[in-house]
A and B are shown apart, each in its own frame.
Chain A
Amino acid sequence: MNNSVPHIPIGRLLRSTTVGFTFGCSVPEPEVPLFGDFVKAPAQHGQSEVIGLISDILIEDDPFVRQLIAAPDLPEAYIQDQRKNRQVPIEVSVLTIGYRRNNAVFQELPPQPPMTLDYIQRCEPEEIATFTGSHDYFALIINTPDTSADELLPAALQRAAKARPADERRFFMLQAGKELARLLANDLPRLNTLLRRIQVIP
């Protein structure tokens, strides 16, 4: 594993468990972080990398922000002050879907969660394509008690499809649909909803 500081960290870890972790970041850029993004965090002193999906983005408020909400015609400078200068916490929740160790990918819960203040990075397209080469991680998403699971899986699959060449995307989604049909054979309404949402987006 590479122990050096990642090139484009998007935040630092606040807290973690084996099944997921939360990181904090400054004001979101238009492209990061996004719901359904694949992210990674170092674990086991850099011996492994935990891989997860961004499952929620929480922008906290405080009394100062609340009183500004009611202000009429709020000039942009006040908004920029609140967004850029004040340390308004933005919390990003991640659902763990596997880990990587010694260049091998495991689609199961990691032996250890990442540590506080570790850098969080967005996964590169090649890493996403490699990780999503099999679909065992679907179970970790589908079985999560979080109600947004049925939103998260289609979003993740769209990211995974885009990480592949255009001529491979349709086949990738077809295989994903077959795996879902196997996992949700006893829950046809849910399967129907998910299948409708994993169409290939050009």
Chain B
Amino acid sequence: MALELNKLTDQVSGMGETLAARSTELAARLPQAQAALKSMVDDDPILQRKIERALSFHWAGAIPTNEPVHARFPCPAHPERANIIAADGSQLYPNRHGIALYYLINTGSIIFPHGIDDAPTCASEPHLFYKNDDMYMGEHLIQGNLVDSQRDLAELRELARLTATEGESVPTLAMVDNGLLLYLGLHSSNQRRSDEILRDYLRALSEIHTTGAAICGVIDRPRAANVLRLLHVAELDKNDFQAEDLRQLGDYAQLTDRMLFESLQPGERSALFINASPENMEKYMPRGHKIMFFYVNTGSIDQPGILRVELPEWVAIQPQQLELVHAGVVEQARFGSGFPYVLMRAHELAVVTWKQRGQLEQMVAGSMLRSGVSPIISRKAQGKKWTDGG
């Protein structure tokens, strides 16, 4: 017996009603947050002290920059000629029920020549990991979050390679479909491997910096609430608040920054903020890669499409590079239904289909047989093949 959809009718109906009620309730609380953002005073020494205290509690909020927090910036003109480079990765996780232990990272990339009529340059680069050092952390099999971090690292390395080859002849913007902070790797149980990945990741960021290219990470439908946490801190009555006071967002609970900035006009971006997360302040900032972010509307007035764009400080402090990021994301999103076209293409180049996965499995099986090893899947996997039809 498979999923009996008829038994879900009442639950799905209830879910729809609950979602509608939640949406109404959040919409009712949103104006308060928007008003708080609008009324926030620049260079408020009391707020500065509150932020400093919050940071001591590993607060994952947003730190204002020299731009007023409620400022809005229209989309600047795109350079007539620029190279927009994107990389995206996909992965096959280790499968302990499969014929062999390995994992795969496939990185797709595209160099889009904005301003000329040439076809973009596309590539994909697969990499198979199967050695003991790749697969095991001591006695334990590598975890999925480390594979994800390896994928993120592969993306950034590819961007570093491509930005180096493209040179500085035209403005160059590199993009990834993700934030620029490696949360997953840092939460891994294997600290040594995590540190190595972070070290290599920051090295790749430095290499991109050296080429003169700008870089940004683009997040669609962001769930972050860094700016809302800032509003919450600003409204705390006492100055000697404790960590406990920061855990909840009070009136802003379950709201997101995306909702807060949905009133941005098409093409407009919000002010820049510094990501106050501990990863940024403790790992990235000391190595010269403080990560900042803004929100931008790549949708329409009727249907806002709010993207979160993360960028290193060394990009944000150069007006021309900041404008290239802003204009580049908006221009690319014009041809990707609100999401950058180059990121959609890089994903398409990276993705490993089920059919390709099966073909790779056959290649691996053939190689094993030639080496005198029998490729056998687990009994559980065999059972699933029979029952799932796969």
Residue of B nearest to A70 (CB): B337
- A18-59 contact mask (Cβ, 8 Å, vs B): 1 or 0: 000000000000000000000000000000000000000000
Segment from A7-15, A71-79, A151-159, A171-179 that makes contact with B:
A71-79
Which residues of B sit under 8 angstroms from A64, Cβ to Cβ?
Answer: 344, 348
B237 in the interface, Cβ–Cβ < 8 Å? no
Question: Are B344's CB and A71's CB within 8 A?
Answer: no
- A71-107 contact mask (Cβ, 8 Å, vs B): 1 or 0: 1001111101101111000000000000000000000
CA distance A153 to B345 in the complex (A): 42
Question: Are A77's CB and B117's CB within 8 A?
Answer: yes
Question: Are A85's CB and B120's CB within 8 A?
Answer: yes
Which residues of A sit under 8 angstroms from B113, Cβ to Cβ?
Answer: 77
Question: Are A68's CB and B119's CB within 8 A?
Answer: no
Question: Are A77's CB and B337's CB within 8 A?
Answer: no
Residue of A nearest to B337 (CB): A67
Which residues of B sit under 8 angstroms from A84, Cβ to Cβ?
Answer: 119
CA distance A78 to B114 in the complex (A): 9
Question: Are A85's CB and B116's CB within 8 A?
Answer: no
Question: Are B335's CB and A71's CB within 8 A?
Answer: yes
Given A67-B337, A71-B334, A74-B335, residue A81 in contact with residue B120 (CB < 8 A):
yes
CA distance A75 to B114 in the complex (A): 9
CA distance A64 to B117 in the complex (A): 20
Question: Are A77's CB and B119's CB within 8 A?
Answer: yes
Which residues of B sit under 8 angstroms from A71, Cβ to Cβ?
Answer: 334-335
Residue of B nearest to A80 (CB): B119
B252 in the interface, Cβ–Cβ < 8 Å? no
Which residues of B sit under 8 angstroms from A81, Cβ to Cβ?
Answer: 110, 112, 119-120, 122, 345
Residue of A nearest to B336 (CB): A67
Given A64-B344, A71-B334, A71-B335, residue A77 in contact with residue B118 (CB < 8 A):
yes
Interface residue ranges of B107-127 to A (CB < 8 Å): 110, 112-114, 116-120, 122
Total interface residues in chain B, CB < 8 Å: 18
Which residues of A sit under 8 angstroms from B344, Cβ to Cβ?
Answer: 64
Which residues of A sit under 8 angstroms from B122, Cβ to Cβ?
Answer: 81, 85
CA distance A86 to B346 in the complex (A): 11
B314 in the interface, Cβ–Cβ < 8 Å? no
B103 in the interface, Cβ–Cβ < 8 Å? no
Residue of A nearest to B120 (CB): A81
Residue of A nearest to B113 (CB): A77
Determine how close the nearest CB of chain B comes to the CB of A137; give it in whole angstroms: 39
CA distance A85 to B114 in the complex (A): 16
Residue of B nearest to A82 (CB): B119
B341 in the interface, Cβ–Cβ < 8 Å? yes
Question: Are B335's CB and A85's CB within 8 A?
Answer: no
Question: Are A80's CB and B118's CB within 8 A?
Answer: yes
Which residues of A sit under 8 angstroms from B345, Cβ to Cβ?
Answer: 81, 85
Question: Are B114's CB and A77's CB within 8 A?
Answer: yes
Determine how close the nearest CB of chain B comes to the CB of A82; give it in whole angstroms: 9
- B344-360 contact mask (Cβ, 8 Å, vs A): 1 or 0: 11001000000000000
CA distance A39 to B110 in the complex (A): 36
Which residues of A sit under 8 angstroms from B335, Cβ to Cβ?
Answer: 68, 71, 74-75, 78
Determine how close the nearest CB of chain B comes to the CB of A66; give it in whole angstroms: 10
14 A–B contact pairs at CB < 8 A?
A: A64-B344, A67-B336, A67-B337, A68-B335, A76-B117, A77-B112, A77-B114, A77-B117, A77-B118, A78-B335, A80-B119, A81-B112, A84-B119, A85-B122
Interface residues of A (CB under 8 A from B): 64, 67-68, 71, 74-78, 80-81, 83-86
- What 10 pairs across the A-B complex have the smallest Cβ distances? A80-B119, A76-B117, A84-B119, A85-B122, A81-B120, A71-B335, A67-B337, A81-B119, A78-B335, A77-B113
10 A-B pairs besides A75-B114, A85-B122 with CB distance below 8 A are A68-B335, A77-B116, A77-B117, A77-B120, A78-B341, A80-B117, A81-B112, A81-B120, A84-B119, A86-B348
